Amino acid sequence: MTTTASDQVFRLPDLGEGLTEAEVVKWWVQVGDEVRVDETIAEVETAKSIVEVPSPYAGTVTTLHADEGGTVAVGAPLITIGAADASGAADGAARAYREEERAGSGNVLIGYGTGDGPARGRRRAPRGTAAPAVPAPAPAPAAPAPEVASRRPVASPVVRRLARDGGVDLAAVAGTGADGLVTRSDVVRALAARDGLAAAAPTGPASGERRTALSSFRRTVAASLSRSRAEIPEATVWVDVDATALWELRESTRTPGDPGPGILAYLARFVVAGLKRYPVLNARVDTERQEIVEHDHVHLGIAVQGERGLVVPAVLGADAMTTAQLDGALRDLTERARAGRATAEELAAGTFTLNNYGGFRVDGSAAIINHPQVAILGFGRILDRAWVVDGEIVPRKITQMSFVFDHRVCDGGTAAGFMRVVADAIEDPATAIRDL
């Protein structure tokens, strides 16, 4: 492939999550398509979510530098677009778009505006690859040579994924396909040969083991949870709560055409009320300055088990919402998060986390605090249990509420006070909602 002076090479920008690469999930354009400035050209998958990537250029697509399923390093070419008419409005829009990014407006992805000249910002080579080869000098002036891939050609993104998940370096695999293409069978043989040698080694793993490389998502989760456990002296308290009145209130709001707010929306409303009473729990710790930093808003994080693993996106501005508004926001956020489409802001903005692990049919959990937050509240299943009311044993709907907090910011009295605000609201929701 050769490029011309009018070609505009768009390199994958830093998506703001400290990552070094992303996987192309879907191309929205093909070679030969006309694109406009800010038109979505691709969806890429990071360790946290799926992000739509808009084009900073207008013109005709000449090259897609990765297949769907392929991995692109930050700073590596993603797409090449032949320049549109420089005198047209599209070119002016493109210049304005890149100037906006240079000015730091925040309206475009970090890393855009590389435009002419060397790419700005961090540029990392893909892990495990060598520097691009230098092309031999041409006998006559020619167009700039393309960047040379350092790995063997691979026909299918499925092969690349198989190799990556298995920890196989494709550069070390002899391809048996046409022109040396590495096929799925080649990678499977490489995995079998490696695992066989490992099993035979005296210090290697026992035979029969199956090893799976940590995905970028799992590595990110591991780093975050490890930091939480390393830095935060956490304590856990719990209480059984009679949720019968809340259950009955929720059922009374249902109509054939409107299911009304769900239980989680009421719990979220009560949590926000508790945080207003005890704002030290809606905070973070500045370890460098040895200060507790209380937030003036509640961005309520919700633990969601998505297609790729557990994520904790936040309902932004939950402290200003009614129960009905919280219900709509929670349903929308949960649906998008399960599909990997929560925004980067939602994934990073949480100030406190609410965890409904009862959805997994379990009753209790000593959760890990989502760093840099200082607390997490969780609820187990709501079950019919024998309960003593006014001296009589009666069936009631009981749930266990567990609270994990950072002991640096408060002691048990504050934690207990917060829990009672939430628990009392659950047990007498009509009064709590009236007084909120």
CA angle 49, 52, 57 (to 5 degrees): 145
Distance in angstroms (rounded) separating the CA atoms of residues 101 and 118: 16
Q: How many CB atoms lie within 10 A of CB 85?
A: 10
Q: How far apart are CA 176 and CA 127, in angstroms?
A: 24
**What is the phi/psi pair of residue 142, to 5°?**
-145, 170
Q: What angle do CA 369, 372, 376 make, to 5 degrees?
A: 30
**CA 324, CA 302: separation in Å to the nearest integer?**
17
Distance CA 364, CA 429 (A): 22
Other C-beta atoms lying within 10 Å of the C-beta of residue 368 = 16
Q: How many CB atoms lie within 10 A of CB 380?
A: 24
DSSP letters, 118-168, are SPPS---PPTT-PPPPPPPPPSS--SPPPPPPSSPPBS-HHHHHHHHHHT-
**Where do the DSSP E strands lie in 55-132?**
59-64, 71-73, 77-83
The amino acid that residue 53 corresponds to is: V
Length of the chain in residues, anyone? 436
Amino acid of residue 425: A
* Mutual angle of helices 184-200 and 157-166, in 10-degree steps: 10
407 is catalytic: yes
Q: Residue 337: what residue type?
A: A
- CB count within 10 Å of CB 174 equals 10
As given in the structure block, the two tokens for residue 224 are 């975050």
Catalytically active residues are 407
